[in-house]
Amino acid sequence: MSELNEEEAKALQLRLEQLRLEHRDLDDIIERLIHDPHIDQLQLKRLKKRKLFLKDLMKRLESDLIPDLDA
């Protein structure tokens, strides 16, 4: 990826923070659902899948924020 300007980097950083917040929220929801005796397994599976998707997306954004090094 080409070098990001300051505005693009700030936008990516903001998006990354939003994703981290959603990821933490999903973690809390999943933890509560696991302890619910009337758990909806399909809902739990979907939430876990969304959490994994967010984790992968966060890794990509973090990678995009690392400046390219000229070899």
pTM of the model: 0.82
Instruction: Give the pLDDT of residue 64.
Output: 87
Is 1 part of any domain? no
Q: Which domain holds residue 13?
A: 6-65
Instruction: Give the pLDDT of residue 69.
Output: 64
What does the CA dihedral 48, 53, 59, 61 come to, rounded to 10 degrees? -140
How is residue 43 written in tokens? 């809902």
Is 12 part of any domain? yes
pLDDT digits (tens, 9 = 90+) for 13-60: 999 999 999 999 999 999 999 999 898 999 999 999 999 999 999 999
Instruction: Give the pLDDT of residue 2.
Output: 61
Is 71 part of any domain? no
CA–chain centroid gap for 41, Å, is 22
Q: How many helices (H) and strands (E) does the chain have?
A: 2, 0
State the total domains in the chain.
1
- C-alpha angle with apex 23: 38 to 42, nearest 5 degrees? 30
Residues 41, 47, 51, 52, CA torsion sign: positive
